[in-house]
């Protein structure tokens, strides 16, 4: 990545933040779905 753009800096910091937002949303949706599942399919 850095070779093509001529320096070793982080070339797309905005996209990195967008990717983090995506990852957090992913985790939240996954967690909520398992939480919902646990309410209707309880362990005894």
Provide the binding-site residues for another protein, judged by CB under 8 A.
1, 4-5, 11-15, 17-19, 22, 25-26, 29-30, 33-34, 36-37, 40-41
Closest contact distance (angstroms) between CB of 42 and another protein is: 13
CA distances from 13 to 7, 22, 26, 38, 39 (A): 14, 14, 20, 37, 39
Both structure tokens of 4: 């093509």
H-helix segments, 1-44: 2-5, 13-40
Closest contact distance (angstroms) between CB of 24 and another protein is: 11
Closest contact distance (angstroms) between CB of 22 and another protein is: 6
């Amino acid at each position: 990545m850095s070779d093509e753009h001529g320096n070793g800096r982080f070339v797309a910091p905005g996209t990195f933040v967008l990717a983090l937002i995506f990852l957090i949303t992913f985790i939240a949706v996954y967690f909520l779905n398992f939480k919902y599942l646990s309410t209707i399919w309880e362990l005894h």
